[in-house]
């Protein structure tokens, strides 16, 4: 191998290790890889940021905004309400839920489709006494299966289309992925519905009943006795609260109850403070201040609600500003007006000091905030409420049909080849903004910027893999291994390799790395590149073995109470089924 090839392979190995370990966020890792290949001369400086102008990047951003527009239209909520009222057992529920989320995922962001149904599924689990773990993982997997079926269903399909165009061929059409994708999705959903869910461990948690959190275990009432040294002091002056990591979330004075009292509240004799803290810290607080525990008082979540203040369970979304931060660095109470009462990770209540916990994608939080601002707080933090609450005013029917009409027009224009997909969907975004279906703040917030940075940075890295001959070297290895077998064997190798890669890293990154190899392999066999690109796009949507392979898997991990090793139990068989179904379909529809 040449020095350039050693450099690119070393860079990719470092990138994959950092992706897998999760020490740095994937967009930061992608930028690091881009800088390495640029500074080492593998990529001309003037081409370093050419990836951000790639049509695939523009299309992905536009699809994310359009997904928000469809969400705002209210049509999904109407169908979701119908699903919540559906009669029947777990098989009927799974058939309806997985089919619907797959349909949604064909035309909008996978994570967005899953997020819309997550509160509804939790409500169904509670009302029908079904473990949430039986429903949530199938829902996440179905969102990935649905993304295989259209060009805009998932970023890997858009990226593969861009690579096809770079070879001089026209890009894939809107429904070119459907013959293979629909067949695989149907087979996968049938497996999940009738058999796969039985392989999922029962992870019963409070979410199957009234919520993930049992507040009486960490929220306590303490009374200020007569002649207490705290009398006359303001809350912010009592340093013992901060020293013991105790958060005052309520005050009872006679018949008056104040939730989230001001830091300037002056304490009086007989005041009862509602305090959130660990049992050991409550003990220290009582010992150092002389406060009296209110005996035989069981705190319920209803006790922490008032006309002005409410509690909300919410899960951290993949694009949340909270990821990587702590309650202290984010200053949740001061900057957002919200109290963090508890954190649940993988279905288990975290007992360590909350101020020092670094938030992760999929963490479930118990938040307390004002009723009139809870919607804004949830959106600003990038969290998804786990209760089916109407956080948006009812949408007029005219606006609902307008949103659907704009989306359908963009779909038809791009599917018929009248307008390139990136232009059609950008125009649709503009129309949704002008017609106020989506406001500017929502448009910018709906774009998953880490994904955009990842794509813009990794596309040039993939080009460096090609120009250094690294892709050709790997392709030669695949050709050598498959030379003793029919040409379809090379497809199988590429599909399995992409599956494995997508279980460990972001699926968009997996396609960026595998597409040049797939193209070189096809050229080595003197065959069409199309079946090979189809193979890697199917493989990229098969992140079924781990919770880190796709954001949908991570999103359900907390509410479902799953452990890391739970995913492969159903996911391994599902990947085998995908392999068995996809290869014949690719050969039928795409082999020359």
Instruction: Name the pLDDT band for 175 (thresholds 50, 70, 90).
Output: very high
In this prediction, residues 546-566 reach a mean pLDDT of 84
pLDDT at res. 509: 87
Least confident of 171-175, 317-321, 534-538: 317-321
| Residue matched to tokens 């804004």 | 376
Alpha-carbon gap, residue 97 to 126, rounded angstroms: 15
pLDDT at res. 392: 45
Instruction: Name the pLDDT band for 385 (thresholds 50, 70, 90).
Output: confident
Q: Residue 345 CB: number of other CB atoms within 10 A?
A: 16
In this prediction, residues 571-580 reach a mean pLDDT of 96
Would you say residue 428 has pLDDT above 90?
yes
Of the two residues 330 and 579, the one the predictor is more confident about is 579
Q: What is the dihedral of CA 359, 361, 365, 370, to 10 degrees?
A: 90
Instruction: Name the pLDDT band for 38 (thresholds 50, 70, 90).
Output: very high
pLDDT tens readout for residues 431-462: 999 998 888 988 888 888 888 898 899 999 98
- % helix / strand / coil in the chain, to the nearest 5? 60, 10, 30
Cβ-contact 143, 182 below 8 angstroms: no
Cβ-contact 545, 512 below 8 angstroms: no
Would you say residue 214 has pLDDT above 70?
no
Lay out the sheet containing 219-223: strands in order across. Answer: 256-259, 247-253, 272-276, 219-223, 292-293
Would you say residue 354 has pLDDT above 60?
yes
Q: Residue 307 CB: number of other CB atoms within 10 A?
A: 8
Alpha-carbon gap, residue 429 to 411, rounded angstroms: 12
In this prediction, residues 322-344 reach a mean pLDDT of 81
pLDDT at res. 582: 96
pLDDT at res. 406: 92
pLDDT at res. 394: 47
Instruction: Name the pLDDT band for 207 (thresholds 50, 70, 90).
Output: very low
User: Taking all residues of the chain, what is their mean pLDDT, rounded to a whole number?
Assistant: 84
pLDDT at res. 206: 47
| Residue matched to tokens 């996809």 | 582
Would you say residue 49 has pLDDT above 50?
yes
* Cα–chain center distance at 141: 12
Domains and CATH numbers, the chain: 3-207+444-590 (no CATH), 215-304 (3.30.70.1450), 310-385 (3.30.70.1450)
pLDDT tens readout for residues 403-426: 889 999 999 998 888 889 899 999
Backbone angles phi, psi at 336, to 5 degrees: -120, -10
Cα angle vertex 149, ends 86, 94, to 5°? 25
pLDDT tens readout for residues 260-307: 677 788 888 888 888 877 666 777 777 788 887 775 555 555 555 556
Would you say residue 228 has pLDDT above 80?
yes
pLDDT tens readout for residues 13-37: 998 888 887 778 888 899 999 999 9
pLDDT tens readout for residues 114-125: 888 888 888 888
Instruction: Name the pLDDT band for 47 (thresholds 50, 70, 90).
Output: confident
Among candidate residues 511, 481, 512, the one with its CA nearest the CA of residue 495: 511
Alpha-carbon gap, residue 107 to 66, rounded angstroms: 9
């Amino acid at each position: 191998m040449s020095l350039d090839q050693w450099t690119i392979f070393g860079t990719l190995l470092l990138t994959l290790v950092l992706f897998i370990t999760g020490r740095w966020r994937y967009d930061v890792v992608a930028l690091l890889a881009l800088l390495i290949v640029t500074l080492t001369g593998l990529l001309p400086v003037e081409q370093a940021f050419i990836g951000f102008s790639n049509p695939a990047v523009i299309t992905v951003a536009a699809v994310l905004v359009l997904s928000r527009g469809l969400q705002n239209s209210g049509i999904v909520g109407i169908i979701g309400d119908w699903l919540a009222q559906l009669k029947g057992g777990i098989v009927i529920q799974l058939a309806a839920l997985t089919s619907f989320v797959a349909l949604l995922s064909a035309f909008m962001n996978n994570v967005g489709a899953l997020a819309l149904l997550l509160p509804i599924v939790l409500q169904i689990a509670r009302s029908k006494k079904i473990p949430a773990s039986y429903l949530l993982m199938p829902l996440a997997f179905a969102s990935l299966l649905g993304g295989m079926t259209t060009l805009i269903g998932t970023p890997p399909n858009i990226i593969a289309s861009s690579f096809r165009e770079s070879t001089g061929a026209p890009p894939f059409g809107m429904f070119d992925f459907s013959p293979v994708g629909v067949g695989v999705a149907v087979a996968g959903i049938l497996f999940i519905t009738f058999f796969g869910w039985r392989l999922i461990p029962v992870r019963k948690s409070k979410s199957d009943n009234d919520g993930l959190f049992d507040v009486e275990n960490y929220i306590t009432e303490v009374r200020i006795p007569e002649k207490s040294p705290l009398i006359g002091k303001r809350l912010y002056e009592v340093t013992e609260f901060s020293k013991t990591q105790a958060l005052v979330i309520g005050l009872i004075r006679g018949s008056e109850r104040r939730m989230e009292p001001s830091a300037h509240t002056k304490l009086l004799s007989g005041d009862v403070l509602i305090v959130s803290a660990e049992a050991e810290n409550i003990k220290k607080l009582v010992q150092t201040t002389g406060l009296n525990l209110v005996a035989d008082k069981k705190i319920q979540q209803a006790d922490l609600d008032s006309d002005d203040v409410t509690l909300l369970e919410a899960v951290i979304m993949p694009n949340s500003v909270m990821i990587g931060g702590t309650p202290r660095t984010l200053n949740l109470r001061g900057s957002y007006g919200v109290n963090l009462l508890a954190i649940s990770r993988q279905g288990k209540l975290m007992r360590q000091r909350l101020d020092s916990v670094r938030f992760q994608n999929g963490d479930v939080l118990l938040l307390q905030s004002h009723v009139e601002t809870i919607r804004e707080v949830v959106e600003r933090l990038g969290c998804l409420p786990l209760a089916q609450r109407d956080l948006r005013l009812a949408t007029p029917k005219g606006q609902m049909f307008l949103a659907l009409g704009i989306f359908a027009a963009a779909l038809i224009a791009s599917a018929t080849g009248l307008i390139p997909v990136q232009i059609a969907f950008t125009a649709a975004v503009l129309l949704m903004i002008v017609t106020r279906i989506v406001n500017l703040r929502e448009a910018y917030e709906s774009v998953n910027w880490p994904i955009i940075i990842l794509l813009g940075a990794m596309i040039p890295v993939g080009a460096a893999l090609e120009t250094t001959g690294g892709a050709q070297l790997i392709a030669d290895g695949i050709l050598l291994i498959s030379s003793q077998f029919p040409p379809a064997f090379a497809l199988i190798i590429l599909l399995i390799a992409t599956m494995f890669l997508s279980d460990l890293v972001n699926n968009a990154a997996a396609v960026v790395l595998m597409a040049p190899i797939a193209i070189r392999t096809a050229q080595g066999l003197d065959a069409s590149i199309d079946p090979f690109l189809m193979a890697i796009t199917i493989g990229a949507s098969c992140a079924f073995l781990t919770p880190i392979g796709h954001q949908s898997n991570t999103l359900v991990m907390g509410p479902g109470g799953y452990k890391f090793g739970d995913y492969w139990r159903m996911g391994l068989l599902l990947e085998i089924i995908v392999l068995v179904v996809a290869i014949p379909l690719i050969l039928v529809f795409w082999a020359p």
